[in-house]
Structure 1
Amino acid sequence: MQLYNMSSTRRGTTAKMRPWVVGRYRVSVSSRSQSSRRMLSLLAGVAVLAAACAQPAASQQPAGGQAVEAQVETGALRGRQADGVKVFKGIPYAAPPVGDLRWRAPAKAAAWQGVREADRFGFDCIQNKPGWDPTQSKEPQNEDCLTVNVWAPERAAKAPVMVWIHGGGYVMGSGSQALFDGAKLAKRGVIVVTFNYRLGRFGFFAHPALTAEAGDAPVGNYGYMDQIAALEWVKRNISAFGGDPAQVTIFGESAGGGSVNQHMLMAPSRGLFARAIAQSGGGRDALALLSQDRPTKPSAETVGKAFAVKAGVTGNDLAALRALPAKTLLGNLDLLNMEDATYSGPFIDGRLVTSNAVDGFAAGKQAKVPYLVGANSDEMGVIPALFRGGLVSKALKQIDGDTAGVEAAYGSKSAMNDRFLSDFNFVEPARRLAGFQAQAGAPTWLYSFGYVPEAKRKSLKGAPHASELAFVFGNLSALDVKTTPADEAAATLVGDYWTTFAKGGDPNGSGRATWPAYGRAADTLLSFTNDGPAAAKPDAGPLDAIGKLQTRP
């Protein structure tokens, strides 16, 4: 992974910025103070390889191959079959969330007459797709974007199902990204489902008028509601493709991994999945509250009202809000510009989302299902050494606890600067969530992904954020380097572990390194290294010290 150094004038500001894009994070040095923004806030974000590690994704065209049909609850579908895999794309799982359905829980999709062509993806949800990330799909965008895509083995019968939740900081991404093509996983005997969910202010928006309208129902976290609706669709319809609705594994990375962790906690998600995989999902983020302002974080309603006023809507005029052009709602929101003053992201509404993941797991509120969780070995390591110390210092100002003890646990300030941002945001939360899940008696598996493609080993000392995705899906063609037999073997191993877990709740199988089940007493994970996977111990000293810190709300 390379570093993106873009010297430019940001939209809507005169400040000269030099942002380095690292996974879902924006790291910048500016002539204008950024004290009003939470540096390195843990928004569960980009589920894509960074742009320097991937090739541009071509616009998706109708698939070739033999026509095949399937019957779902809303009508007949015609997809395509090629190379032993049946593919159905762009299937509506909910009604278009437009007009009066904007900012409501997803409604049931309408039925159709005849056979619906399912050979191309549906619209991507509305977002600003940055030019620095060519892994994003080239599909057109529309608010009418709630669709699923299915890859199924040709002769699937009661096959296990893997439902992918894409990342992108809750502001970008889609199920149509070429990186997430499910064909290679499907050839391993699982059905793969990807889908879109509402993003940005379309998916996460609060306002007192919406709260009053919702009554006792969940409000605001519409993107999560979409995810639940997609899982409900899978439960009702996956048997039409040869899938077993009782063997659903949800998996996701970054914002998708954070979503997986929230589904472990959200009551409406219970019974919709049997296993879960959270990749670099964090979990200690200080989420906004629905209505209550806090000293360092305004409520989601306060942020929503600020947006409404800026858009020219005062009072509680919901009709006027719902009539706003999509372009106005979108604004300049993207991973480099999270528009904190007018966009909250996911928040605690008290009904659907009740806490961040770490607090919810600590209270034992999570689903007690087999759980595979981990992070990459050098999530934030591509940040230049010159800036790490300053970024760590800035982050520590937003944290309560014995930060001096953390530095002592690392052994030196330079070691802390090198690793703290990755450990605090990704590695430590994964280990802590694994500990809580194991303590609850559920089979639990912890990993560290550190494999680096052979062509990148001179420039990378570890695996950056999202770099495992091409290996999980087996889509190494997304990498911008010539892959080697060793790279292919690594992808085969990762795919074996992931799909074996989806088939039985245990990633182990013959012919590969044993993955010990996690328990805090044993404290052992599987480390994916350049020399192959092997059982290893986390660096417990710094992680234990970090575990005592608290993000200031």
Structure 2
Amino acid sequence: MQTYRLLHFFALISVAFVSGCAMVASAATPGDTRDPGSAIVDAPAGSVRGTSEGEVAAYKGIPYAAPPVGEARWQPPRPAVRWDDVRDATAFGPACYQPTVPGAANGIYYEDVGAMSEDCLSLNVWTPKDAGNAPVFVWIHGGALVSGASSFEMYDGARLAKQGVVVVSINYRLGVLGFLAHPELSAESPEGISGNYGLMDQIAALRWIEQNIAAFGGNPDNVTIAGESAGALSVMWLMTSPEARGLFDKAIMESAYMISSPALKEAQNGHPSAESMGTWLQGQLDAPDLAALRDMEPGALVNRATRAGFLTWSTVDGKLIPHQIAETFDRGEQAPVPVLAGFNSGEIRSLRRLLPPAPATKAAYEEKIREQYGDVAEVFLALYPSDNVDESMLAATRDALYGWTAERLARKQTILGENAYLYLFDHGYPAADKAGLHAFHASEIPYVFGTIHDTAPNWPSIPRKAEERELSDAMMQYWTSFARGGAPRARGQVDWPAYGPDANFMVFDTVPQTGKQLLGTRYALNEAVVCRRRAAGDQPWHWNTGVASPPVPPKVEGCQ
């Protein structure tokens, strides 16, 4: 478990940072069962009463699955029972259980999630006035698969909905309650698998949307799934899962990371098996069996598991998730849909504890890189030189996690014959830049949602200036036009070219601008390193880059 404990150190760091009237319809459209003159929708799941927010109506806290409590803990989500009365949908549902991390309230990502419950499988819908057959934008929140909630102010969908899309945000099970694999759970499963319950929740939410969203004015045949960080990781898993096929038509991934994950029953790629991690946790919690784990109070279970060192991973189980993400995309077996993907230039500036300690001298840095990277060390040092070790370490980890992933998504989807749109978010503003957080991880989100003045309490304050709102308006238009028809466009802004053979991309700084060859050699280096690790079969690929890298395996056929 030594590797497991080392990985846990970095995962906990990630948790600490990421935790943290009436609507009038002029005419009913086919499938639109909203009551004209009221904020009531009669959906197949049941009638709901929401709130009017001017041009938009909001419906919050709608259950999309039954509560996963008692014997249903660590089971696939079950359909919610249709309710008979009009259900109040004016407030967000409780957040899914997540750990209480000391000091997290001081982080820039912290936002109080409020009440927590295992009965947390709910979603929220923002729908524009007179919507009919509108594109649907489904948001999956980030938080390292252990924290976060759809209720965060930054995710408010009202401004996006004014662009003519129906916006949906979802909660899903997190941490040990959402991703525990265990031999007893696998034995209970008709398919012999366990883990990935949070991912199953996301699929259940998409099925609910398919069955109900027309009642809110949305088109179930034009659904875009979108997410940031762990939300974008979730989108990638959904693109690889046969169970999610056909439930969405486009995908947006902001700061995704195509890391390796444990296999269900065997140690692979430097990970212990997911089931062995579950058995290990059972011992750490002094639980004689699965029944004892199910009897534990959920808040205590989540906190004890976190303190014990439980890592939250998706599991490659061979069925819900057939292969590692990288392998599925190499096989060309991912969902054949248009994608929009990108990353931020300052990703790691707000996640510095993901970095290992810096070597004491330039010479020590170079020596370590040469020791670990062997025949590709000089390429690494040319790209990430020792003249500024701090900046090089920030850039190397950013590129290995987020940059390589974004460009790989664009490349692989282009090979598949689908349009792909690549971006770099490089926008800074005084409060962020002063704090050394230029274009930090997740800083694009309030621009995408139009919530630039509704961020978390410790978020660097975005100036109330016209140019900030103009950038946000442009990004909202690009994102929603992509959701509408698969091509991102914005009024008065440069057209965003597909990645294509020229490796086109968009830079979002003060104004959007286009470019070519975003990563170049940096992509080739990371692709070669991951290829070798995959071929060796005994090394994971994630944030173990630069001076934190194990010795890179030697070159083999098929890898550079």
Question: 1:347 corresponds to which residue?
Answer: 315
Distance 1:232 1:469 in 2: 26
**Retained in 2: the 8 A contact 1:136–1:174?**
no
In the TM superposition, what is the alpha-carbon distance from 1:266 to its structure 2 partner?
0.4
Question: 2:295 corresponds to which residue?
Answer: 323
Question: 1:56 corresponds to which residue?
Answer: none
Distance 2:205 2:367 in 1: 39
Question: 2:187 corresponds to which residue?
Answer: 212
In the TM superposition, what is the alpha-carbon distance from 1:421 to its structure 2 partner?
0.6
Distance 2:394 2:69 in 1: 46
Mean alpha-carbon deviation: is it higher for 162-171 or for 530-539? 530-539
- In the alignment, does 2:133 pair up with 1:161? no
Match of 2:282 among 308, 313, 338: 308
Question: 2:497 corresponds to which residue?
Answer: 516
Identity of aligned residues (%): 36
Match of 2:452 among 464, 476, 479: 476
In the TM superposition, what is the alpha-carbon distance from 1:461 to its structure 2 partner?
7.0
Match of 2:7 among 14, 19, 38: 38
In the TM superposition, what is the alpha-carbon distance from 1:34 to its structure 2 partner?
9.8
**Retained in 2: the 8 A contact 1:76–1:114?**
yes
Distance 1:349 1:251 in 2: 24
Match of 2:106 among 126, 129, 132: 132
- In the alignment, does 2:356 pair up with 1:369? no
Partner secondary structure for residue 417 of structure 1: helix
**Retained in 1: the 8 A contact 2:98–2:299?**
no
**Retained in 2: the 8 A contact 1:86–1:154?**
yes
Question: 1:96 corresponds to which residue?
Answer: 67
Distance 2:504 2:110 in 1: 34
Q: Output the amino acid matched with 2:469.
A: E
Distance 2:275 2:287 in 1: 14
Distance 1:216 1:35 in 2: 27
In the TM superposition, what is the alpha-carbon distance from 1:397 to its structure 2 partner?
11
- In the alignment, does 2:243 pair up with 1:274? no
Question: 2:348 corresponds to which residue?
Answer: 380
- Would you tell me which structure has more helix in proportion to its own residues? 2
Question: 2:264 corresponds to which residue?
Answer: 290
Partner secondary structure for residue 234 of structure 2: helix
Extract structure 1 runs of 4+ deviating beyond 6 A: 42-51, 390-401
Question: 1:442 corresponds to which residue?
Answer: 418
Q: Output the amino acid matched with 2:286.
A: G
In the TM superposition, what is the alpha-carbon distance from 1:308 to its structure 2 partner?
1.2
In the TM superposition, what is the alpha-carbon distance from 1:455 to its structure 2 partner?
4.2
Match of 1:505 among 486, 495, 499: 486
Question: 2:127 corresponds to which residue?
Answer: 152
Distance 1:175 1:68 in 2: 21
Distance 1:367 1:47 in 2: 33
Partner secondary structure for residue 381 of structure 1: helix
**Retained in 2: the 8 A contact 1:81–1:154?**
no
Question: 1:360 corresponds to which residue?
Answer: 328
Question: 2:217 corresponds to which residue?
Answer: 242
Alignment of 1:523-534 (within 5 A): 523-534=503-514
Question: 2:25 corresponds to which residue?
Answer: none
In the TM superposition, what is the alpha-carbon distance from 1:81 to its structure 2 partner?
1.0
TM-score computed with the length of structure 1 as normaliser: 0.83
Mean alpha-carbon deviation: is it higher for 199-208 or for 510-519? 510-519
Question: 1:22 corresponds to which residue?
Answer: none
**Retained in 1: the 8 A contact 2:40–2:47?**
yes
Distance 2:371 2:85 in 1: 58
Distance 2:143 2:304 in 1: 15
Distance 2:4 2:98 in 1: 26
Mean alpha-carbon deviation: is it higher for 367-376 or for 34-43? 34-43
In the TM superposition, what is the alpha-carbon distance from 1:388 to its structure 2 partner?
4.6
**Retained in 2: the 8 A contact 1:45–1:170?**
no
In the TM superposition, what is the alpha-carbon distance from 1:529 to its structure 2 partner?
1.7
**Retained in 1: the 8 A contact 2:113–2:149?**
no
**Retained in 1: the 8 A contact 2:19–2:111?**
no
Give the aligned CA root-mean-square deviation in angstroms. Answer: 3.0
Deviations 1:238-257 (A, max 9, x none): 00100000110000000000
Match of 1:76 among 47, 67, 75: 47
Mean alpha-carbon deviation: is it higher for 186-195 or for 384-393? 384-393
Distance 1:267 1:232 in 2: 13
Distance 1:295 1:226 in 2: 27
**Retained in 1: the 8 A contact 2:257–2:401?**
yes
Deviations 1:250-273 (A, max 9, x none): 000000000111111100111111
In the TM superposition, what is the alpha-carbon distance from 1:387 to its structure 2 partner?
4.4
Query: Size of the alignment, in residue pairs?
Result: 499
Partner secondary structure for residue 212 of structure 1: helix
- In the alignment, does 2:237 pair up with 1:262? yes
Q: 1:274/1:296 Cα in 2 relative to 1: closer, same or farther (>3 Å)?
A: closer
In the TM superposition, what is the alpha-carbon distance from 1:401 to its structure 2 partner?
7.1
In the TM superposition, what is the alpha-carbon distance from 1:403 to its structure 2 partner?
4.3
Distance 2:293 2:114 in 1: 27
Q: Output the amino acid matched with 2:296.
A: L
Q: Output the amino acid matched with 1:363.
A: R
Q: Output the amino acid matched with 2:337.
A: V
Distance 2:50 2:367 in 1: 51
Distance 1:88 1:186 in 2: 12
Deviations 1:279-336 (A, max 9, x none): 10111x121111112484211111111111222223xx433332222134202566xx
Question: 1:489 corresponds to which residue?
Answer: 470
Question: 2:400 corresponds to which residue?
Answer: 424
Q: Output the amino acid matched with 1:110.
A: V
Distance 1:344 1:49 in 2: 14
Match of 1:544 among 490, 508, 524: 524
Question: 2:428 corresponds to which residue?
Answer: 452
TM-score computed with the length of structure 2 as normaliser: 0.82
Runs of 5+ in structure 1 lacking a partner? 1-32, 52-65
In the TM superposition, what is the alpha-carbon distance from 1:484 to its structure 2 partner?
1.6
Question: 2:31 corresponds to which residue?
Answer: none
Q: 1:294/1:455 Cα in 2 relative to 1: closer, same or farther (>3 Å)?
A: closer
Question: 1:28 corresponds to which residue?
Answer: none
In the TM superposition, what is the alpha-carbon distance from 1:44 to its structure 2 partner?
13
**Retained in 1: the 8 A contact 2:502–2:516?**
no
Partner secondary structure for residue 472 of structure 1: helix
